[in-house]
Amino acid sequence: MPYELHYWPGIQGRGEFVRLALEAAGVPYVDVARGDESAGQGVPALLHYLNDGSVTRPPLACPVLVDGKHVIGQTAAILLYLGPRLKLVGASEADRLWTHQIQLTIADAVDQAHNTHHPVGLGLYYEDQKPEALRAAQEFRSQRIPKFLGWLEAILARNPKGSQHLVGARLSYADLSLFQLVEGLLYAFPKATRRALKKTPLVLALRDRVAGHRRVSLYLRSERRIPFNEDGIFRRYPELDG
């Protein structure tokens, strides 16, 4: 049975961190909500896991990974589960925990990026919170982007196995997530992110290395990669960059 990924069909969103891991590993998976309802796929299949009272361990939100009887929510928990199975994490407990810690910190950066366009209400439109968004984005650009990228740079610089990867000497899901974070920031805040990246050359080099990974680069050029857009987490609202 291939892995089933359940995520909103029109955006990269948090599901993209799972897609990148599955694609980099080259394992078969079904992106269920983008499939055909007549084949039991589509959004109804996704909503089953969120809303159906028969699900004993219901996730609160997407992404959801289904692997046989395992139903797993929370992006970082999914990657914790997939990491060893996809050989995208080291073998030791210390390496697994450190990779997970990096993933959780990248998830914090993603949450804060989302907050720039939705500072006062997840249930409101961006257009209904623009003045607040302008203020939120200002601090995110000037403080948070440099802080997160600077932290990733320090990890690469201090890696005893070399600066090619965040953990050890091999590709991990944390590397893939760094790539996605940088891509998202470059899409949403191109000016501020390019400025910050000038001070984090190791982060930029790892971003390029992941983009050049054979299976990842094939994926990025395929139709399976949904383009960034203004329904996702990383949105290009020029007034929020600067």
Part in contact with a copy of itself (CB under 8 A); list of ranges 31-39, 154-162, 185-193, 201-209: 154-162
Q: How far is the CB of 155 from a copy of itself (least distance, A)?
A: 7
The least CB distance from residue 64 to a copy of itself, in Å, is: 10
Minimum distance of a copy of itself from residue 61's CB (angstroms): 8
Residue 100 makes contact with a copy of itself by CB under 8 A: yes
139 binding a copy of itself? (CB under 8 A): yes
Q: CA-CA distances (angstroms) from residue 37 to 32, 34, 42, 71, 162?
A: 9, 9, 5, 20, 47
Burial (0-12, 13-18, 19+ Cβ within 10 Å), 60 = exposed
How is 157-211 classified by DSSP, letter by letter?
HH-TT-TTSSSTTS--HHHHHHHHHHHHHHHH-HHHHHHHHTT-HHHHHHHHHHH
Check binding of 169 to a copy of itself (CB under 8 A).
Answer: no
Find the helix packing angle between 173-188 and 75-85, rounded to 10°.
140
CB of 166 to a copy of itself, least distance (A): 10
43 binds a copy of itself (CB under 8 A): no
Distance CA 135, CA 10 (A): 28
Closest approach of Cβ 136 to a copy of itself, in Å?
A: 4
Alpha carbon distance 228, 223 (integer Å): 13
- The single residue among 43, 48, 129, 204 that binds a copy of itself, judged by CB under 8 A, is 129
Contact between 60 and 44 under an 8 Å Cβ cutoff? The reply is: no
Residue 158 binds a copy of itself (CB under 8 A)? yes
> How big is the chain by its Cα radius of gyration, in Å?
18
Residues 56-95 that bind a copy of itself (CB under 8 A): 56-60, 70, 72-74, 76-77, 80-81, 94
Q: What is the rounded CA–CA span in Å between residue 45 and residue 49? A: 7
Q: How far is CA 150 from CA 105, 142, 197, 204, in A?
A: 12, 12, 9, 11
User: Does 147 sit near a copy of itself (CB under 8 A)?
Assistant: yes
Query: Least distance to a copy of itself from the beta carbon of 215, Å?
Result: 26
- Residues found near a copy of itself in the complex (CB under 8 A): 53, 55-60, 70, 72-74, 76-77, 80-81, 94, 97-98, 100-101, 104-105, 108, 111, 115, 119-124, 129, 132, 135-136, 138-139, 143-144, 147-148, 151, 154-155, 158-160
